[in-house]
């Protein structure tokens, strides 16, 4: 190992998550695997083949750059969809490659039609409507103009989808707002259908909406966090818990394990300060282990004197400050620990486990943020 830590990515965990999601959404709903944020930190190039191996044929990216990475990683001609940013100058390549994209502004719509005419290739678009998220989407007031443009350009457009996104389906405090969004989406849908437009897929649900508002499941769901083995929030899990079968109360499995090794051991006398400054004074004679990961590797400085890691299957504490490249942990009460032993930062070792949630709780980061902040230069290794 010439890196100071590495991240394992479990294929079998992904498979279990998709099996559970499949049982939730039924056979007739497409699962689009959301791979924005470098596949929530797992690596687009790792996740696309794993997902295709378990039957996924639809991927959702945020940007054109991510979509092209997914396109290149795909071996099964999967559909690739962009939910967010692209430049008009990207349109030629995207349309040529058959990559679909959200359209939420007249500028993008008109430009897509122009490029499609020039290429004599239909642009695959997902029309995003504003229902209350107030980020992107065509307003209700835009409907006449929207309908007119779509209807008169059906030779240049494939209406791949009609979509929206909910503003916080993972928390009951947004219940009224989400209910209102569902109503507005259905009204927009009905209006366009009555005008005679047809869309290949209606889609609105993310992970939380899929679990907490099953009526949002429709033709396709866009699933990110749950496919990586996390509940959107503890609240979503609690909501779902009672309906989970007795023998499978924990159906979502984390894909990642983050591991390092002990770099060196040191004895410290009672009263000595450990590391920079004076944040930790040894309360007794101690043995510490140095681990070669620090805040430059995504182990937050906020975990100084707070963080926990696993060594020899036991939970041990970070002592002193997290530095750029290393931490010290207290192993005084362990025996037989030696240089080179495995250290688990996230994951299981023997009977104990450090979860992303527990790792994040002491730094107030949500799962989503913590995952996507794991630095790109830590090697990801796909395991069975």
> What residues contact 359, with CB distance under 8 A and at least 6 apart?
303, 307, 308, 345, 346, 370
175 carries an active-site annotation: no
Cβ-based nearer residue to ligand PLP, 54 or 83: 83
Using CA atoms, how far residue 308 sits from 9, 133, 269, 377, in Å, is 21, 38, 22, 23
Stretch that binds ligand PLP, among 21-29, 178-186, 220-228, 335-343 (CB under 6 A): 220-228
CA-CA distance, 366 to 21, in Å (whole number)?
22
Question: Tokens 């687009």, residue?
Answer: 44
Minimum CB separation of residue 236 from ligand PLP in Å reads: 9
Q: Which of 153, 207, 233, 304 binds ligand PLP (CB under 6 A)?
A: 207
Residues 6+ apart with CB under 8 A from 129: 137, 138, 140, 162, 163, 164, 184, 185, 188
Least distance (Å) from ligand PLP to the CB of residue 206? 3
Q: How far is the CB of 31 from ligand PLP (least distance, A)?
A: 11
Q: Which of 53, 103, 46 is nearest to 70 (CA)?
A: 46
Shortest spacing between CB 165 and ligand PLP, in angstroms: 4
Active-site residue (options: 14, 16, 36, 201)? 36
CA pair distance 232, 202, nearest whole angstrom: 22
| Total residue length of the chain | 384
Is position 223 an interface residue for ligand PLP (rule: CB under 6 A)? Answer: yes
Q: Does 206 bind ligand PLP (CB under 6 A)?
A: yes
Stretch that binds ligand PLP, among 11-19, 109-117, 140-148, 224-232 (CB under 6 A): 224-232
Question: 């007794």: which residue's tokens?
Answer: 284
- Of the candidates 14, 114, 33, 124, the one whose C-alpha atom is nearest the C-alpha of residue 73 is 33
| Radius of gyration of the chain measured on its C-alpha atoms | 24
Among residues 70, 178, 208, 218, the one that binds ligand PLP under rule CB under 6 A: 208
Considering only 34, 48, 86, 150, the residue that binds ligand PLP (CB under 6 A) is 34
- Confirm or deny that 324 is annotated as ligand binding: yes
Q: Using an 8 Å Cβ cutoff, are 298 and 378 in contact? A: yes
Check residue 69 for interaction with ligand PLP (CB under 6 A). Answer: no
- Confirm or deny that 222 is annotated as ligand binding: no
Nearer Cβ to ligand PLP, position 209 or 274?
209
Rounded CA separation 140/84 (Å): 20
For residues 78 and 76, give the distance between their C-alpha atoms in angstroms, rounded to a whole number: 5
For residues 77 and 21, give the distance between their C-alpha atoms in angstroms, rounded to a whole number: 22
16 is a site residue for ligand PLP (CB under 6 A): no
Among 31, 33, 56, 83, binds ligand PLP (CB under 6 A): 83
Q: Residues 156, 165, 189, 254: which binds ligand PLP (CB under 6 A)?
A: 165
How many residues line the site for ligand PLP (CB under 6 A)? 13
The residue among 156 and 222 lying less far from ligand PLP, judged by its C-beta, is 222
- 229 scored as a contact of ligand PLP (CB under 6 A): no
Q: Nearest approach, Cβ of 13 to ligand PLP (angstroms)?
A: 16
Whether 40 is a known active-site residue: answer: no
**51-69 b/e with 16+ CB inside 10 Å = b?**
bbebebebbbbbbbebbbb
Instruction: Write out the DSSP string of 198-257.
Output: --SEEEEE-HHHHHH-GGG-SSEEEE-GGGGT--SSHHHHHHHHTTS-TT-S------EE
224, 229, 275, 320: which one binds ligand PLP (CB under 6 A): 224
Q: Min. distance of Cβ 345 from ligand PLP in angstroms? A: 23
CB of 40 or CB of 359, closer to ligand PLP: 40
Distance CA 232, CA 248 (A): 18
Name the site residues for ligand PLP (rule: CB under 6 A).
34, 36, 83, 165, 206-208, 222-226, 232
Q: Which residues are annotated as catalytic?
A: 36, 276
């Amino acid at each position: 190992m010439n890196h100071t830590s590495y991240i394992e990515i479990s294929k079998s965990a992904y498979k279990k998550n998709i099996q559970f999601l499949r049982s939730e959404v039924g056979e007739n709903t497409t699962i689009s695997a959301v791979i924005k944020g470098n596949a929530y930190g797992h690596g687009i190039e790792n996740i696309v083949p794993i997902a295709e191996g378990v039957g996924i044929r639809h991927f959702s990216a945020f940007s054109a750059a991510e979509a092209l990475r997914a396109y290149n990683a795909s071996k099964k001609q999967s559909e690739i969809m962009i939910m967010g940013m692209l430049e008009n100058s990207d349109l030629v390549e995207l349309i040529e490659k058959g990559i679909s994209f959200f359209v939420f502004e007249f500028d993008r719509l008109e430009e897509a039609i122009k490029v499609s005419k020039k290429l004599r290739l239909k642009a695959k678009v997902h029309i995003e409507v504003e229902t209350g998220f107030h980020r992107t989407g065509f307003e209700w007031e835009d409907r006449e103009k929207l309908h007119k443009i779509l209807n008169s350009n059906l030779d240049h457009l494939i209406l791949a989808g009609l979509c929206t996104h909910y503003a916080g389906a993972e928390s009951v405090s947004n219940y009224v707002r989400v209910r209102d969004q569902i109503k507005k989406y259905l009204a927009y849908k009905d209006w366009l259908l009555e005008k005679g437009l047809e869309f290949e897929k209606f889609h609105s649900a993310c992970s939380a909406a899929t679990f907490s508002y099953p009526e949002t499941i429709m033709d396709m769901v866009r699933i990110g966090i749950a496919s990586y083995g996390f509940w959107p929030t503890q609240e979503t899990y609690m909501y779902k818990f009672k309906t989970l079968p007795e023998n499978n109360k924990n159906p979502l499995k984390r894909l990642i394990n983050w591991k390092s090794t002990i770099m060196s051991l040191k004895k410290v006398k009672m009263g000595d300060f450990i590391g920079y400054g004076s944040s930790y004074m040894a309360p007794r004679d101690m043995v510490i282990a140095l681990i070669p990961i620090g805040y430059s590797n995504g182990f937050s400085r906020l975990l100084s004197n707070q963080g926990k890691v696993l060594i020899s299957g036991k939970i041990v504490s970070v002592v002193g400050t997290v530095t750029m490249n290393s931490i010290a942990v207290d192993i005084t009460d362990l025996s037989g620990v030696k240089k080179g032993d495995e250290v688990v930062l996230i994951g299981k070792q023997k009977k104990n486990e450090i979860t992303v949630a527990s790792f994040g709780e002491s730094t107030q980061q949500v799962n989503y943020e913590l995952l996507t902040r794991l630095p790109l230069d830590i090697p990801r290794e796909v395991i069975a």
